């Protein structure tokens, strides 16, 4: 440990500051016991003595530690460290030790402008996967925004900062007690803006705002003050993303607007439903946006006050007292009706018994259900036909693949061998081939480092061609073919152009000394000139380096005629 490095709990070295938040700072750190890089979150000293903020900070660690999922930043440890200020007073400084994420904040990516619809869908699908996991744990994040979403170097999405998350059962979880922590109202749900209790659908609204911003480069509502933005969330209808970015498809418009419904009972009712509609829209299909069911899980989402479900009427009937029931005017049905009912039931039972006894057991249910066939690896048209022949309904989705050729099926859901009812929808993912990405910029890297960067990005190293250069050192890359920054499909062969540390020295003998210096100057050589008094005219008579390839920064001596002009001949 270097001198001046802070050590927490005798274990965690605190390094450089890498992020600032509303109530905490984040530093890169090292777990000296396990030898791994971590992120250390420290409550700001100005808040460390406030019991409310210390409680919020402690609760964040407890809640996040319950989350163990690839799309959620893991919490490894937490505690409080005793620190002493300049005046000698001691105080407790809470800290959280988290997984270190090597990547970029989504808000920094959005700042560069709108991103492609397919990439926006991929990112939000992973955010929804994280929310589905936390919602199953009955935990609502309440602060979904680009500043709380990281994208790793490999493209993995990581949701972080459960600092103001609340359990679904916590009825006091309103915007009133989080205004000091939330830095912006741009991602508020209408119920948060009204100060009402929140549930899982609050996170889905905020996710819809993030999706809108990914597609257009800006959130749907703007204002000079947070209260003005909050009011827009309550009262104003968002525009279609395609009116801002014409590249957005109508299907994606429908998904975004459904997620931004003011009435939470009109939104997507779960992260899984949102993700399913998003996958369909990204595959170029108009998602089936079904109205929410009235009997949806009331424990997690509450009861729709406008619903008139059949179960509600049934409960009313069950709750009616005996005095409210209609009094019958006849004590029992007529005898003829009773006997007629007995005869009918006997006939029905007899017929069913005969049918069951004569039905072969192996044939029961055969005509009602089928086994999903294995179509992975087949061309989509062939696989879809096999599914259709079995009365199954294929739904085409797209994804890139490093192993499956374009147009072939990569996977299906349900998987092959699953027995399902006829007319059951089967999701079929079709390969679009390898992903199209930018060729890395490897200029000025050593040849071995450039090859590693290309292969890490999914490209194939082809060959190295040597070239002369007056300035690029020997073994350093001068360029690539195709050029760096060009969009290409992963698996494309990329060749390197590498400096051989030589320059091509021209023949300057016979040139004037001025022209010779001009020819040699761009080559970076150390040029020296020597006057030859045996001749006149300024022409170069010799050069110390032979014409052709010579090492960079070599010295070359030029001899040139510089003697006195001959005297005029006498008449």
Catalytic site positions: 143
Contact 98, 73 (CB under 8 A): yes
**What gap in Å lies between CA 237 and CA 212, rounded to an integer?**
13
Residue 491 gets the label, from left (phi > 0), alpha (psi -120 to 50) or beta, of: left
Contact 226, 183 (CB under 8 A): no
Q: Which two tokens stand for residue 28?
A: 């890169």
Q: In terms of DSSP bridges, do strands 425-431 and 393-399 run parallel, antiparallel, or are they unpaired?
A: parallel
HSE of 345, CA atoms in CB hemisphere, 13 A:
6
The whole-angstrom distance between residue 530's C-alpha and the CA centroid of its chain comes to 66
E strands of 116-262, at which residues?
Answer: 139-140, 149-152, 157-159, 166-167
Distances, alpha carbon 61 to alpha carbons 78, 274, 325, in Å: 7, 28, 56
Q: Could you tell me if 43 and 94 are in contact, meaning their C-beta atoms sit under 8 angstroms apart? A: yes
* Dihedral angle over CA of 71, 76, 82, 85, nearest 10: -40
Label residue 109 exposed, middle or buried (CB < 10 Å: 0-12, 13-18, 19+).
Answer: middle
Structural contact between residues 369 and 422, judged by C-beta atoms closer than 8 angstroms: yes
Report which of 505, 543, 537, 498 is spatially closest to residue 521, judged by C-alpha positions. Answer: 505
Residues 413-425: b if buried by 16+ CB within 10 A, e if exposed: eeeeeeeeeeebe
Would you call the peptide bond into 198 cis, given omega within 30 degrees of 0 as the criterion? no
Residue length of the chain = 571
Please give the Cα distance from 546 to 107 (Å, whole number).
59
């Amino acid at each position: 440990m270097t001198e001046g490095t802070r050590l927490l709990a005798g274990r965690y070295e605190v390094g450089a500051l890498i992020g600032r938040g509303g109530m905490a700072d984040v530093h890169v750190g090292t777990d000296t016991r396990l030898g791994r890089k971590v992120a250390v979150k420290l409550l700001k000293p100005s808040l460390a003595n406030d019991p409310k903020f210390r409680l919020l900070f402690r609760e964040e660690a407890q809640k996040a530690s319950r989350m163990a999922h690839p799309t959620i930043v893991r919490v490894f440890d937490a505690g409080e460290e005793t620190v002493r200020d300049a005046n000698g007073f001691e105080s407790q400084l809470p800290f959280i030790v988290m997984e270190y994420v090597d990547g970029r904040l989504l808000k920094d990516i959005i700042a560069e402008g709108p991103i492609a619809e397919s990439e926006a869908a991929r990112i939000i699908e992973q955010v929804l996967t994280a929310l589905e996991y936390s919602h199953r744990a009955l935990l609502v994040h309440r602060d979904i925004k680009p500043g709380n979403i990281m994208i790793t170097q490999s493209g993995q999405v990581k949701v972080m900062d459960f600092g103001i998350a609340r359990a679904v059962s916590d009825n006091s979880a309103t915007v009133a007690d989080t205004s000091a922590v939330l830095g912006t109202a741009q991602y508020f749900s209408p119920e948060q803006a009204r100060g009402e209790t929140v549930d899982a659908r609050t996170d889905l609204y905020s996710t819809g705002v993030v999706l809108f911003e990914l597609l257009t480069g800006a959130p749907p509502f703007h204002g000079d003050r947070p209260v003005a933005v909050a009011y827009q969330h309550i009262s104003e209808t968002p525009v279609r993303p395609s009116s801002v970015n014409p590249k957005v498809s109508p299907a994606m418009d429908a998904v975004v607007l459904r997620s931004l419904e003011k009435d939470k009972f009109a939104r997507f009712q779960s992260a899984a439903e949102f993700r399913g509609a998003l996958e369909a829209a990204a595959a170029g299909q108009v998602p089936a946006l079904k109205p929410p069911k009235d009997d949806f899980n009331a424990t997690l989402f509450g009861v729709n006050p406008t619903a008139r479900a059949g179960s509600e009427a049934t409960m009313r009937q069950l709750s009616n007292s005996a005095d409210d029931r209609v009094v019958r005017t006849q004590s029992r049905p007529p005898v003829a009706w009773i006997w007629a009912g007995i005869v009918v039931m006997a006939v029905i039972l007899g017929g069913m018994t005969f049918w069951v006894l004569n039905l072969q057991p192996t044939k029961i249910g055969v005509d009602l259900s089928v086994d999903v066939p294995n179509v992975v690896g087949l061309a989509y048209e062939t696989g879809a036909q096999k599914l259709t022949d079995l009365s199954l309904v294929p739904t085409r989705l797209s994804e890139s693949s490093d192993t499956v050729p374009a147009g072939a099926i990569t996977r299906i859901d349900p998987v092959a061998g699953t027995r399902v009812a006829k007319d059951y929808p089967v999701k079929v993912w079709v390969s679009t081939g390898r992903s199209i990405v930018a060729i890395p910029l490897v200029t000025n890297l050593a040849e071995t480092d450039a090859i590693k960067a290309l292969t890490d990005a999914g490209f194939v190293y082809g060959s190295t061609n040597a070239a002369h250069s007056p300035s690029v050192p020997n073994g350093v890359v001068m360029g690539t073919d195709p050029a760096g920054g060009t969009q290409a499909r992963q698996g494309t062969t990329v060749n390197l152009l590498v400096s051989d540390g030589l320059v091509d020295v021209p023949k300057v003998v016979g040139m004037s000394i001025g022209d010779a210096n001009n020819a040699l100057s761009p080559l970076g050589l150390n040029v020296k000139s020597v006057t030859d008094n045996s001749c006149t005219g300024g022409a170069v008579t010799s050069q110390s380096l032979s014409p052709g390839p010579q090492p960079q920064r070599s010295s070359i001596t030029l001899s040139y005629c510089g003697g006195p002009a001959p005297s005029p001949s006498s008449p």
